[in-house]
Protein backbone atom coordinates (compact mmCIF):
# COMPACT_ATOMS: atom_id res chain seq x y z
CA UNK A 1 0.00 0.00 0.00
CA UNK A 2 2.89 2.35 0.80
CA UNK A 3 4.35 1.78 -2.69
CA UNK A 4 1.05 2.76 -4.26
CA UNK A 5 0.94 5.99 -2.24
CA UNK A 6 4.49 6.87 -3.27
CA UNK A 7 3.69 6.12 -6.92
CA UNK A 8 0.49 8.16 -6.70
CA UNK A 9 2.39 11.16 -5.35
CA UNK A 10 5.30 10.93 -7.83
CA UNK A 11 3.29 10.59 -11.05
CA UNK A 12 1.67 14.06 -10.85
CA UNK A 13 5.07 15.62 -10.13
CA UNK A 14 6.61 13.90 -13.15
CA UNK A 15 3.70 15.02 -15.34
CA UNK A 16 4.09 18.60 -14.12
CA UNK A 17 7.82 18.52 -14.87
CA UNK A 18 7.21 17.32 -18.43
CA UNK A 19 4.51 19.95 -18.96
CA UNK A 20 6.70 22.78 -17.66
CA UNK A 21 9.68 21.67 -19.72
CA UNK A 22 7.60 21.50 -22.88
CA UNK A 23 5.87 24.80 -22.19
CA UNK A 24 6.83 28.28 -23.26
CA UNK A 25 9.40 28.84 -20.56
CA UNK A 26 12.25 31.27 -20.90
CA UNK A 27 14.87 28.53 -21.22
CA UNK A 28 17.02 29.09 -24.26
CA UNK A 29 17.64 26.27 -26.71
CA UNK A 30 20.23 26.23 -29.47
CA UNK A 31 18.81 28.23 -32.35
CA UNK A 32 19.88 29.81 -35.65
CA UNK A 33 18.10 32.13 -38.04
CA UNK A 34 17.79 30.84 -41.59
CA UNK A 35 16.61 33.77 -43.62
CA UNK A 36 13.38 34.82 -41.90
CA UNK A 37 12.87 31.38 -40.32
CA UNK A 38 14.24 30.55 -36.87
CA UNK A 39 15.44 26.96 -36.51
CA UNK A 40 15.60 25.68 -32.93
CA UNK A 41 16.40 22.42 -31.19
CA UNK A 42 13.19 21.19 -29.61
CA UNK A 43 13.11 20.72 -25.85
CA UNK A 44 10.84 17.69 -26.23
CA UNK A 45 10.91 15.43 -29.32
CA UNK A 46 7.17 15.29 -30.00
CA UNK A 47 7.04 19.02 -30.76
CA UNK A 48 9.62 18.80 -33.54
CA UNK A 49 8.67 18.84 -37.19
CA UNK A 50 11.96 17.19 -38.17
CA UNK A 51 13.96 14.52 -36.41
CA UNK A 52 17.62 13.94 -37.21
CA UNK A 53 19.91 11.17 -36.05
CA UNK A 54 23.66 10.71 -35.94
CA UNK A 55 25.74 7.74 -37.03
CA UNK A 56 29.37 6.69 -36.71
CA UNK A 57 29.10 4.74 -39.98
CA UNK A 58 29.55 6.98 -43.05
CA UNK A 59 27.79 4.43 -45.27
CA UNK A 60 24.54 4.84 -43.28
CA UNK A 61 24.61 8.65 -43.48
CA UNK A 62 22.29 10.66 -45.70
CA UNK A 63 24.07 13.94 -44.85
CA UNK A 64 27.77 14.43 -44.06
CA UNK A 65 28.90 17.33 -41.88
CA UNK A 66 32.57 18.17 -41.43
CA UNK A 67 33.90 20.09 -38.43
CA UNK A 68 36.58 22.50 -39.68
CA UNK A 69 39.48 23.99 -37.77
CA UNK A 70 39.10 27.48 -39.27
CA UNK A 71 36.13 29.70 -39.99
CA UNK A 72 37.40 30.39 -43.50
CA UNK A 73 37.05 26.71 -44.47
CA UNK A 74 33.44 26.48 -43.24
CA UNK A 75 30.09 26.96 -44.94
CA UNK A 76 28.49 27.73 -41.59
CA UNK A 77 30.23 29.52 -38.70
CA UNK A 78 28.79 29.47 -35.20
CA UNK A 79 30.53 31.66 -32.63
CA UNK A 80 28.18 32.82 -29.90
CA UNK A 81 30.47 34.04 -27.14
CA UNK A 82 31.12 37.46 -28.65
CA UNK A 83 29.49 40.66 -27.37
CA UNK A 84 27.95 41.37 -30.81
CA UNK A 85 25.76 38.24 -31.06
CA UNK A 86 22.26 38.79 -32.46
CA UNK A 87 20.02 38.44 -29.42
CA UNK A 88 16.73 38.68 -31.34
CA UNK A 89 17.63 36.33 -34.20
CA UNK A 90 15.55 33.47 -32.78
CA UNK A 91 12.33 34.97 -31.52
CA UNK A 92 9.80 32.15 -31.22
CA UNK A 93 6.97 32.40 -33.72
CA UNK A 94 4.65 30.23 -35.74
CA UNK A 95 7.37 30.06 -38.39
CA UNK A 96 9.93 28.53 -36.00
CA UNK A 97 11.16 25.20 -37.33
CA UNK A 98 11.78 22.74 -34.48
CA UNK A 99 14.40 20.01 -34.86
CA UNK A 100 14.92 17.06 -32.51
CA UNK A 101 17.91 14.76 -32.23
CA UNK A 102 16.71 11.15 -32.16
CA UNK A 103 18.62 8.18 -30.81
CA UNK A 104 17.24 5.92 -33.53
CA UNK A 105 16.58 7.20 -37.06
CA UNK A 106 13.28 6.63 -38.78
CA UNK A 107 13.08 5.74 -42.44
CA UNK A 108 12.60 9.35 -43.62
CA UNK A 109 14.85 11.12 -41.09
CA UNK A 110 18.18 12.59 -42.11
CA UNK A 111 21.10 10.61 -40.68
CA UNK A 112 24.16 12.79 -40.05
CA UNK A 113 27.75 11.62 -40.16
CA UNK A 114 29.80 14.17 -38.21
CA UNK A 115 33.57 14.05 -38.70
CA UNK A 116 36.70 16.11 -38.95
CA UNK A 117 37.44 14.98 -42.52
CA UNK A 118 35.66 15.29 -45.84
CA UNK A 119 33.93 14.78 -48.16
CA UNK A 120 31.02 16.70 -46.70
CA UNK A 121 27.72 18.24 -47.68
CA UNK A 122 28.25 20.97 -45.05
CA UNK A 123 31.35 22.27 -43.33
CA UNK A 124 30.85 23.88 -39.91
CA UNK A 125 33.05 25.83 -37.54
CA UNK A 126 31.81 25.88 -33.95
CA UNK A 127 33.28 27.89 -31.07
CA UNK A 128 30.57 28.19 -28.51
CA UNK A 129 29.86 27.97 -24.83
CA UNK A 130 26.28 26.80 -25.41
CA UNK A 131 26.30 24.91 -28.74
CA UNK A 132 27.96 21.55 -29.32
CA UNK A 133 29.11 20.44 -32.77
CA UNK A 134 26.17 17.99 -32.77
CA UNK A 135 23.75 20.84 -32.00
CA UNK A 136 25.16 22.93 -34.84
CA UNK A 137 25.05 20.01 -37.28
CA UNK A 138 21.45 19.20 -36.35
CA UNK A 139 20.43 22.85 -36.78
CA UNK A 140 22.15 23.28 -40.14
CA UNK A 141 20.60 20.08 -41.51
CA UNK A 142 17.25 21.06 -39.98
CA UNK A 143 17.46 24.49 -41.59
CA UNK A 144 17.74 22.79 -44.96
CA UNK A 145 14.75 20.61 -44.11
CA UNK A 146 16.98 17.55 -44.06
CA UNK A 147 18.27 18.20 -47.56
CA UNK A 148 21.77 18.93 -48.73
CA UNK A 149 23.31 22.21 -49.95
CA UNK A 150 22.17 24.99 -47.63
CA UNK A 151 22.31 28.59 -48.86
CA UNK A 152 22.67 30.89 -45.83
CA UNK A 153 22.20 30.93 -42.09
CA UNK A 154 23.23 33.22 -39.27
CA UNK A 155 23.36 33.12 -35.48
Q: List the domain boundaries for the chain.
A: 27-143
> In the structure, how many helices (H) and strands (E) does the chain have?
2, 8
| Residues whose CB is less than 8 angstroms from the CB of residue 140 and which lie 6 or more positions away in sequence, other chains included | 32, 65, 76, 122, 124, 150, 153
Distance CA 147, CA 66 (A): 16
Q: Are 112 and 151 in contact (CB under 8 A)?
A: no
Distance CA 91, CA 118 (A): 34
Q: Using one digit for the tens of pLDDT, what is the confidence trace for 113-126? A: 999 988 899 999 99
Distance CA 12, CA 17 (A): 9
Q: What is the mean pLDDT of residues 10-36?
A: 58
**Residue predicted with more confidence, 100 or 146:** 100
Q: What is the mean pLDDT of residues 12-30?
A: 52
Q: What is the pLDDT of residue 45?
A: 81
Helix, strand or coil for residue 31?
Answer: strand
Q: What is the mean pLDDT of residues 12-38?
A: 60
> What average pLDDT does the structure give for the chain?
76
Q: What is the pLDDT of residue 150?
A: 44
Q: Using one digit for the tens of pLDDT, what is the confidence trace for 54-91? A: 999 999 999 999 999 999 999 888 887 655 555 555 66
Confidence band for 147, pLDDT divided at 50, 70 and 90: low
On the question of pLDDT at 107 being above 50, the answer is yes
| Angle (nearest 5°) at CA 81 between 18 and 31 | 40
Reference 40, options 136, 121, 128; nearest CA is: 136
Query: CA-CA-CA-CA torsion for 24, 29, 32, 37, nearest 10 degrees?
Result: -20
Q: What is the pLDDT of residue 28?
A: 59
Amino acid sequence: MLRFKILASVVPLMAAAVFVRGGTGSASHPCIAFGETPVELASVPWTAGLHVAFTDDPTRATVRVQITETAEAADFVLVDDTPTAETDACQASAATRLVAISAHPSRDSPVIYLSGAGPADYRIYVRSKTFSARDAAALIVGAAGGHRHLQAASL
